[in-house]
Amino acid sequence: MSTAFISHPDCHRHDMGAGHPECPQRLAAIEDWLIAHGIDTALDRHDAPRAELRSLERAHSARYVAELKAELEALEQQARQGVPNPMKALDPDTSANAHTWSAALRAAGAAVKATDLVMDGRAENAFCAVRPPGHHATREQAMGFCFFNNVAVAARHALDVRGLDRVAVIDFDVHHGNGTEDILAGDERVLMVSIFQDPLYPYCGAEPKGPNMLNLPVPPYTRGAEVREMIESLWMPALERFRPQMVFVSAGFDAHRDDELAQLGLVEADYEWITLRIMDVARRHAKGRIVSCLEGGYDLGALARSVGVHVRTLAGI
């Protein structure tokens, strides 16, 4: 089984400031775990390209892309002019530095490249170890640590460029993927299923925005057994009926019991089980085609272990 692993050094250089949970060390922790467990050499590694603007505009408005480009390229220019560590806050949680524009392009570009690799049969599935994450970025707004919606960009690429008729988006981050919902709600070519803690940022999702959205809010302190039961009884029948031709995953690992940004109780075995159930759907309906993109996960140890299990399961190791 061939699993592509797509990342880029630029994704390490985006930095929102000292003490920010969405930090460059997240990717380093994942890499260290894969090396320590001998998994890195079993993966088909690729550098993430910079996404083309037209790819971004399949999920975001041209106005938003142009305005964000201007703002973030201005930081690059300031750095070239000698301004030490220029930064700009886009919202109370989301800041950019001189490397953010390149990192955001690489993150979205990784998802598009992964889609092409899987569609062309050069990999059965793919994991994008990228940051910034994407699932809070709406069509018109950066928020929640996110600038471009990597999974939505990739899903639209599969539909509009690669010609698929149906794709599924599966989001198991502890926070609701409001940006993905904003972009894809009402698109009958997409089924999005998600499970998330409620109440919790971004404080929405209990009422789906479209008939193609299956949102499962769960209360704080929900454990893995309950999450598995809900996935089995609600996600799986919907995915079976929809018969997706490709599966995209917003893979957030902040529902882990050790993650302090939320209060759910998942452990590595739960992420392995979720990955296996996603693979079951993909094998039956999508020729095994899965593209998974890193979203949240802020306890470095829990993140590394959980991503490791996810990637190891995708690769059949």
Q: What is the pLDDT of residue 136?
A: 98
Q: How confident is the model at residue 308 (pLDDT cuts 50, 70, 90)?
A: very high
Residue 45's beta-bridge partner residues? 5
- Say if pTM beats, i.e. exceeds, 0.75: yes
Residue type at 299?
D
Q: Is the pLDDT of residue 1 over 80?
A: no
Question: Alpha-carbon distance 176 to 250, whole Å?
Answer: 10
Contact by Cβ (8 Å): 155, 166: no
Q: 12, 136, 175, 285: which is the annotated catalytic residue? A: 136
Q: How confident is the model at residue 228 (pLDDT cuts 50, 70, 90)?
A: very high
Closest to 49 measured CA to CA, from 100, 98, 12, 6: 6
- The per-residue pLDDT for range 239-284, each reduced to its tens digit, is 999 999 999 999 999 999 999 999 999 999 999 999 999 999 999 9
User: Which CATH fold topology does 3-315 show?
Assistant: Arginase; Chain A (3.40.800)
Question: Alpha-carbon distance 27 to 48, whole Å?
Answer: 14
Could you tell me the CA-to-CA distances from 206 to 34, 171, 296, 307 in Å, in that order?
36, 15, 20, 27
Question: Alpha-carbon distance 317 to 315, whole Å?
Answer: 5
Q: E strands within the chain?
A: 3-7, 44-47, 87-91, 94-97, 125-128, 167-171, 190-197, 213-218, 247-251, 290-294
Question: Alpha-carbon distance 286 to 289, whole Å?
Answer: 5
- The per-residue pLDDT for range 112-159, each reduced to its tens digit, is 999 999 999 999 999 999 999 999 999 999 999 999 999 999 999 999
Active site residue 136: yes
Tokens describing residue 116: 């092409």
Residue type at 1?
M
- Rounded to the nearest 10 degrees, the angle between the axes of helix 300-315 and helix 25-36 is 50
Question: Alpha-carbon distance 251 to 135, whole Å?
Answer: 10
Q: How confident is the model at residue 304 (pLDDT cuts 50, 70, 90)?
A: very high
Using the 8-state DSSP alphabet, how is residue 42 labeled? G
Decide: residue 136, CB within 10 A, 0-12 exposed, 13-18 middle, 19+ buried. Answer: buried
Which sequence spans correspond to the domains of the chain? 3-315
Using the 8-state DSSP alphabet, how is residue 101 labeled? H
Which residue's entry shows tokens 């994008």? 128
Q: How confident is the prediction for the chain on average, in pLDDT?
A: 98
Q: What is the pLDDT of residue 313?
A: 98
Contact by Cβ (8 Å): 253, 261: no
231 C-beta neighbours (distance < 10 Å), count: 21
Question: Alpha-carbon distance 40 to 129, whole Å?
Answer: 12
